[in-house]
A and B are shown apart, each in its own frame.
Chain A
Amino acid sequence: MTVEPRVDGPLGGFRVLDLADEKGLPCTRFLADLGADVIKVERPGGDSTRARPPFSEDLPHAERSLYFLHWNANKRGITLNLKEPDGQALFRELVRRADVVVETSQPGTMDRRGLGFAALQAVNPRVVMTSISVFGQTGPYRDYKGNELIGFALGGVMALSGEPHGPPCLAAGDLASGMASMHAALATQVALFHRVRTGRGQHVDASVAEAAAHVGGYVVPFYSYHHEKPVRVTHKETSFELHDIYPCADGGVRLFILTRDHWRVFVEWIGSPPELQDPIFEDQDVRRDNRDLIDPYVREFCRQLTKRELYTEGQARHLAVSPMRTPAEYVASEQTRAREYFVEMDHSVVGRYRQARGMHLFSESPAQMRCSAPLVGQHNEEILVGELGLSRDDLIGLRAANVI
């Protein structure tokens, strides 16, 4: 079986070997969405992320993980045991034909397998190796154990989430790993761009804990300049934007009233209460100091209307009002449907379903949803026989030796 070169998308023609777990999957999915030929290299039996919930029909099975399904769309997949010399040798053969390797193992692991950056560069001087780890490839915590929680905790953002005096709350969606992955996807392409001029690849070292520091707002420059440490605050926060969640007739709604003009329109919308008519409230600082006076009016107004009414009427007045939606409500929303964010796909075990496409729409090189996540070892023959020139007997031998 021959392989058609994949040319869809701006990264068509680049090949990526994907050894990533949770920490790096958003990076390799991003590259795959842009048209790179991403080959997921899993251990025999399948990657550990196939055990992550949710599962279709709640059946925990390697081909039913919806987590795996989301993050591995648009990729091909093979199995290869990188602990075995035969697996390592085949991996080096793949590296010879690849542009990028993305890996997320504990620092030092790839070196022990003879697959560290120096070894890969010896095979292919053009290869870019991107390592995403919790702490990074250097520094005193390098060999510590970690995951999303640990990285998020160190970054300074988790401490600000949750209610005062209660425990901090971990974000949904592996936010720190997602941020590390986006920086890694950026840096990987910067390295490819550099390679156009120099012909040489390089090693990219991304850290989830450092990325966590980039998720948040401006606490680092604020602390250094104003020497003020932000603390967790109650929902009577002393902020002027009124950006709390206000309960409404059927859920919650968020406002973000920033400018003078917004405030004027907002006061009119809520019925021009005499106490709020004073132009002095047009000043952000005055609003901040009088939050307790303003808040009951906002609360009472929101209570009487539905999410949809507040959203529609607020936006009609060009006010930043948004409903607090559940995931299912986002899937069903008009805007999401109009932009075809969820694309119909087919998977031999899960069946027909819809899943999120890539993040960006490119006018000249539109990347498309090409395929659902690979089954375990789905492309072993296509790649190991079709490209590396192994025979079917070789495959049988490798299977018996637990290499594929």
Chain B
Amino acid sequence: MSALPLDGIRVVELCTGAAGPTVTKCLAEYGAEVLRVESRRRPDTHRGGANRARWNKSPSFVKLHRGKKSVTINLQTARGQALVLDLIRASDVVAENFSLGVLDRWGLGYERLRAAKPEIIVISLKGLGHTGPHAHHITWGPNLLCLFGMTHLWNFPDADVPTQEARVQHPDFMAGVAGAAAVMAALLFRERTGKGQFIDAAQVEVGANLLGPAYLDAIVNHRDPRPTGNRRPGAVPHGAYPTAEGPERWCAISVEGQEAWERFRAAIGDPPWSSDPCFATPLSRERHADEIDRLVGDWSRNHTRQQIMGRLQAAGVAAASIQDVDDLFERDPHARARGLLVELNEPEMGPVVTEYPPVRLSETPAQIRAPAPVMGEQTGQVLRGILHLTEGEIEELAAEGVLD
């Protein structure tokens, strides 16, 4: 285990769900020590929810909490709140995403934390942010996708029902990574000024940032943007095409510009239709996009995804297999070569695979230093090591129900 840039940075996590935990997961990958404060009384969904038999056996928990320490403290008790405040005094960053007002009720609001430790950096993630008439709304990732227009736009133009995007918890994950980036900016600022700060993060505003051009279309051109499916201006064909492998195995092809079109034609064997003057120029192809999609599908249907990707890429044409998760595991030589999938040995689950960050630093590459902790795994270690409590004090706290 070599040194990492955030070695020595300590983070207290007061989070449920995915967005907040993703902030601290990202910081842990670069060396931060993350103390996840959790509770046996109110276990979060990813821990396994109310059913104890599911605890420590949740694949989603491994993805969200690998490399962290679990400290079980009952935040409903005054002594529990005081213990957490002591941990925060010994820390650099707090990440929280409980419902609006919960931390204030526990006496752990920003003003209190700042009084206890002026240079503390607090990131507070809420679905809709800290202020405004809807700040208290209950929102999960799929709700947010609806609120900022993503569900509306992530679809085919002629569809009569919304498409199936709900499996994607965006913007939880993106808000998590962006939140970690915001914390890094605050750490760099603290490095130069000695000042901490409070970061108000609305998940909906992170997700919405990617749709900025669509909002500008509405604001500047007074038009409400419609879904465009797999079409993008300037590229025909561009989208998903059937393959010989069956109804659920598709490939992606993108042909942008005249040179790519000529290379594409040659790569698929110059079929007679491809020299039709109707398809000769980018403009004419845009006008006949439906027909080209059909003809390209007639070709792709006779080949496997690997054949299509291999043949078109060899000709310098952008193409890929639309991979399922089993492809990522079993048929993706690139992912294997770059080490995208990382196996951890979880205490009560055995081997579980999660994704390495999609970025490599030449000097200080991210490390996944430990599996996800079982409930309360490091409670004693943290209280002894950081707060210097004795065994007797710890036993007393446990007996009083302060340690959860």
A114 in the interface (beta carbon within 8 A): no
Contact B358 A169, beta carbon cutoff 8 Å: no
Cα(A200)–Cα(B227), bound, Å: 46
Contact A196 B191, beta carbon cutoff 8 Å: yes
A355 in the interface (beta carbon within 8 A): yes
Cα(A159)–Cα(B30), bound, Å: 31
A256 in the interface (beta carbon within 8 A): yes
B244 in the interface (beta carbon within 8 A): no
- Determine, out of B67-75, B124-132, B380-388, the stretch whose residues face the partner at the interface: B124-132
Give the residue name and chain of the B residue nearest to A151 (CB). Answer: B320
Q: Which of B129, B149, B166, B338 contacts A339, CB < 8 Å?
A: B129
**Count, A-B residue pairs, CB within 8 A:** 509
Contact A217 B323, beta carbon cutoff 8 Å: no
Contact B163 A163, beta carbon cutoff 8 Å: yes
Please judge, given known A-B contacts A156-B323, A320-B140, whether A26 and B161 are in contact too, CB under 8 Å: no
Contact A183 B328, beta carbon cutoff 8 Å: no
A42 to chain B, nearest CB (A): 18
Contact A140 B221, beta carbon cutoff 8 Å: no
A280 to chain B, nearest CB (A): 15
Contact A229 B325, beta carbon cutoff 8 Å: yes
Please judge, given known A-B contacts A214-B358, A256-B142, A325-B152, whether A339 and B205 are in contact too, CB under 8 Å: yes
Contact A57 B164, beta carbon cutoff 8 Å: no
Please judge, given known A-B contacts A196-B191, A229-B324, A355-B212, whether A210 and B338 are in contact too, CB under 8 Å: yes
**19 A/B residue pairs, CB under 8 Å, sorted by A:** A145-B260, A146-B318, A150-B254, A158-B252, A159-B324, A161-B168, A162-B240, A173-B150, A200-B363, A204-B362, A218-B59, A221-B353, A319-B138, A322-B144, A323-B147, A329-B224, A334-B134, A361-B201, A365-B195
Q: Which of B185, B250, B325 contacts A223, CB < 8 Å?
A: B325
Contact A364 B364, beta carbon cutoff 8 Å: no
Contact B362 A153, beta carbon cutoff 8 Å: no
Q: Which of B152, B248, B251, B338 contacts A136, CB < 8 Å?
A: B338
Secondary structure class of chain A's binding surface, majority of residues: mixed
Contact A324 B210, beta carbon cutoff 8 Å: no
Sort A-B residue pairs by CB-CB distance and give the 10 closest, nearest first: A210-B358, A221-B59, A173-B210, A70-B212, A224-B353, A338-B132, A189-B184, A172-B153, A364-B197, A153-B252
Encoded as 1 (CB less than 8 Å from any A CB) or 0, chain B from 164 to 196 comes to 111111100110011111101111110110011
B320 to chain A, nearest CB (A): 4
Give the residue name and chain of the B residue nearest to A172 (CB). Answer: B153
A276 in the interface (beta carbon within 8 A): no
Contact A331 B177, beta carbon cutoff 8 Å: no
Encoded as 1 (CB less than 8 Å from any A CB) or 0, chain B from 271 to 295 comes to 0000000000000000000000000
Cα(A229)–Cα(B249), bound, Å: 13
Secondary structure class of chain B's binding surface, majority of residues: mixed
Contact B216 A355, beta carbon cutoff 8 Å: yes
Contact B177 A182, beta carbon cutoff 8 Å: yes
Please judge, given known A-B contacts A186-B26, A190-B6, A218-B60, whether A66 and B325 are in contact too, CB under 8 Å: no
A353 in the interface (beta carbon within 8 A): yes
Contact B227 A172, beta carbon cutoff 8 Å: yes
Q: Which of A67, A135, A145, A147 contacts B334, CB < 8 Å?
A: A135
Cα(A206)–Cα(B357), bound, Å: 9
Contact A203 B362, beta carbon cutoff 8 Å: yes
Given known contacts A217-B168, A342-B219, what 7 new A-B pairs fall within 8 Å (CB)? A153-B240, A156-B325, A161-B154, A221-B354, A315-B134, A320-B140, A322-B144
A127 in the interface (beta carbon within 8 A): no
Number of interface residues of B (CB under 8 A): 154
Give the residue name and chain of the A residue nearest to B191 (CB). Answer: A196
Indicate the member of A139, A149, A221, A243 with the most B CB atoms within 10 Å.
A221
Encoded as 1 (CB less than 8 Å from any A CB) or 0, chain B from 339 to 353 comes to 011010000010111
Cα(A237)–Cα(B221), bound, Å: 38
Contact A160 B185, beta carbon cutoff 8 Å: no
Q: Which of B6, B153, B217 contacts A193, CB < 8 Å?
A: B6
Please judge, given known A-B contacts A54-B217, A144-B313, A331-B219, whether A224 and B351 are in contact too, CB under 8 Å: yes
Which B residues are CB-close (under 8 A) to A217?
Answer: 60, 167-169
B232 in the interface (beta carbon within 8 A): yes
Give the residue name and chain of the A residue nearest to B228 (CB). Answer: A172
Please judge, given known A-B contacts A154-B321, A232-B248, whether A193 and B329 are in contact too, CB under 8 Å: no
Which A residues are CB-close (under 8 A) to B332?
Answer: 154
Please judge, given known A-B contacts A145-B316, A149-B232, A365-B189, whether A168 and B250 are in contact too, CB under 8 Å: yes
B317 in the interface (beta carbon within 8 A): yes
Q: Which of A11, A53, A187, A315 contacts B359, CB < 8 Å?
A: A187
B82 in the interface (beta carbon within 8 A): no
Q: Which of B110, B151, B352 contacts A254, CB < 8 Å?
A: B151
Which A residues are CB-close (under 8 A) to B136?
Answer: 315
B304 in the interface (beta carbon within 8 A): no
Contact A335 B133, beta carbon cutoff 8 Å: yes
B97 in the interface (beta carbon within 8 A): no
Which A residues are CB-close (under 8 A) to B45?
Answer: 258
Contact B195 A364, beta carbon cutoff 8 Å: yes
Cα(A183)–Cα(B140), bound, Å: 22
Please judge, given known A-B contacts A140-B334, A189-B185, A210-B358, whether A56 and B254 are in contact too, CB under 8 Å: no
B97 to chain A, nearest CB (A): 14
Give the residue name and chain of the B residue nearest to A253 (CB). Answer: B146
Give the residue name and chain of the A residue nearest to B197 (CB). Answer: A364
Contact A193 B324, beta carbon cutoff 8 Å: no
Encoded as 1 (CB less than 8 Å from any B CB) or 0, chain A from 25 to 63 comes to 010011000100000000000000001111011100000
A83 in the interface (beta carbon within 8 A): no
Which B residues are CB-close (under 8 A) to A81?
Answer: none
B247 in the interface (beta carbon within 8 A): yes
Cα(A195)–Cα(B36), bound, Å: 28
Which B residues are CB-close (under 8 A) to A138?
Answer: 337-338, 360
Cα(A141)–Cα(B340), bound, Å: 14
Contact A359 B148, beta carbon cutoff 8 Å: no
Q: Which of B150, B201, B210, B239 contacts A170, CB < 8 Å?
A: B239
Contact B322 A172, beta carbon cutoff 8 Å: no
A6 in the interface (beta carbon within 8 A): no
B238 in the interface (beta carbon within 8 A): yes
Contact A139 B221, beta carbon cutoff 8 Å: no
Please judge, given known A-B contacts A162-B163, A222-B59, whether A56 and B221 are in contact too, CB under 8 Å: yes
Contact A159 B206, beta carbon cutoff 8 Å: no
A174 to chain B, nearest CB (A): 7
Contact A211 B60, beta carbon cutoff 8 Å: no
Cα(A172)–Cα(B139), bound, Å: 21
Q: Which of A53, A213, A225 contacts B358, CB < 8 Å?
A: A213
Which A residues are CB-close (under 8 A) to B189?
Answer: 10-11, 364-365
B333 in the interface (beta carbon within 8 A): yes
Cα(A169)–Cα(B240), bound, Å: 8
Encoded as 1 (CB less than 8 Å from any B CB) or 0, chain A from 300 to 339 comes to 0000000000000001001111111111111101110011
